[in-house]
Amino acid sequence: MAKNSLISGSIWDEYSNQVVNRMNNPKHQGEITEERAAALGAKLIVADFGAESCGDAVRLYWAVDEKDDRILESKFKSFGCGTAIASSDVMAELCIGKTVDQAVKITNIDVEFALRDNAETPAVPPQKMHCSVMAYDVIKKAAAEYKGVDMESFETEVIVCECARVSLGTIREVIRINDLTTVEQITDYTKAGAFCKSCIRPGGHEEKDIYLVDILADVRAEMAEEKMKSAADASAAGTLSFEKMTLVQRIKAIDSVLDSDIRPMLVMDGGNMEIIDIKENLPHFDLYIRYLGSCSGCSSGSSGTLYAIESVLQQKIDENIRVLPI
């Protein structure tokens, strides 16, 4: 049967030749028997792992030299799609010659990269990237069997995107450092959500404990709260920049300077002034004022007095303040 009779040629072309070759002719498929392990002077380890999302399952065989924990031989059996078979074959190959502790560090990213025809082109389409995750998980299961521990003990971080092996800590840090506001930006920066997309939001290929949309919302809320607290603390300490102030804070800051440096002189001449509004016209801040009393009809209100008010406010608050009488 022609390959294009089952799937479109364009999708087929997204698989590397390595994947196709290992799918059709896996090098390490089979089993290691007790007799074979004994002949090698090794301990036989058999580990099973299944992907609930698609029903695929893989069994990994290790013959481990207990003197140095080195994996002498590695084979697999798989009930799964072609991508799962190819991934499992490379996974078994990567384990050979490594110690158990070294093998645990093999990730699905390593497996996918080993299946590439060239370093720049992914070996499988994004929606099939999750197939290599099963290979990573069964290694942890085998290592746990050998060491007599729980497989979760090998996971030091909470992994949000298993396809790209991106942790919760990394995603939170990237959002903060780069001030990210969308899931698409998270994917651009970390590759989380770029493959099977299950980790983006509920309803994807696999159910997750935590999703990118939730992480983004939580971190943005934390950042907003921290920003408000920082602004409040700076305001209380008198160190908040004029640009960072709220409208109320800006009016209070200007009123404080006017009361100490400007209004006493105006009142002595029977006048006064009030703030009407402050508008941002970046880089300037336009302060609209109204003269009161004798100042309202004084010619210097648009020349000398105006210049004095503006100069004091620029020196004591922000050099970009412009005073506009109305």
CATH number at residue 142: 3.90.1010.10
What is the pLDDT at residue 227?
81
Distances (CA, A) of 207 to 17, 113, 153, 203: 31, 25, 22, 7
Give whole-number Cα distances, 28 to 96, 109, 325, in Å: 10, 19, 85
Contacts of 164 by beta carbon, 8 Å cutoff, 6+ apart: 109, 129, 190, 191, 192, 194, 195
What ranges make up the beta strands (E) of the chain?
A: 43-50, 57-65, 70-79, 159-161, 166-167, 271-281, 284-293, 321-325
Where is the domain boundary, 113, 128, 155?
Answer: 155
Find, among 123, 113, 102, the residue nearest to 21 by Cα: 123
Nearest alpha-carbon partner for 258 in 326, 323, 320, 302: 323
Looking at the structure, do residues 36 and 104 belong to the same domain, yes or no?
A: yes
Give exposure, 175-186, as e/b (b: 16+ Cβ within 10 Å).
Answer: beeeebeebeeb
52 and 133 share a domain?
yes
Q: What is the pLDDT along the chain (326 residues), one digit of tens a residue?
A: 344 444 445 677 889 999 999 999 999 999 999 999 999 999 999 999 876 555 678 999 999 999 999 999 999 998 888 888 999 999 999 999 999 999 998 887 889 889 999 988 888 887 777 777 778 789 989 999 999 998 877 777 788 988 877 889 889 988 988 888 999 999 887 788 988 889 999 988 788 889 999 999 999 999 988 887 776 676 666 677 888 888 888 998 899 999 999 999 899 989 999 999 999 998 999 999 999 998 888 888 788 889 999 999 999 999 999 999 98
Looking at residue 10, what is its pLDDT? 63
Contact present, 324 and 311 (Cβ < 8 Å)? no
Decide if 298 is catalytic.
no
d(CA 215, CA 234): 28
Domain count, the chain: 3
- Please give the structure tokens belonging to residue 233: 């603390």
pTM for this structure? Answer: 0.56
- Measure the CA–CA gap between 326 and 238, rounded to whole angstroms: 30
Could you tell me if 151 and 164 lie in one domain?
no
Q: Which residues contact 15 (CB under 8 A, 6 or more apart)?
A: 83, 123, 124, 125
Does 163 lie in the same domain as 127?
Answer: no
Q: Which of 81, 95, 131, 163 is catalytic?
A: 131
Cα distances (angstroms) measured from residue 78 to each of 49, 52, 145, 264: 10, 14, 19, 88
Q: What pLDDT, on a 0 to 100 scale, did the predictor assign at position 269?
A: 87
- 54 as an active site residue: the answer is yes
Question: Do 284 and 220 touch, CB atoms closer than 8 A?
Answer: no
> 9 with 56, same domain?
yes
What are phi and psi for residue 96, nearest 5 degrees?
-65, 130
Domain end call among 171, 204, 236: 236
The pLDDT value given to residue 107: 82
Do both 149 and 170 map to the same domain? Answer: no
CATH code at position 248: 3.30.300.130
What type of residue is 197?
K
Which range marks the domain in which residue 275 is found?
Answer: 242-325
* Residues 77/46, Cβ–Cβ less than 8 Å: no
Residues 86 and 223 in one domain: no
Give the closest residue to 23 by CA, choosing from 128, 105, 107, 121: 128
Please say which residue of 120, 155, 190 terminates a domain.
155
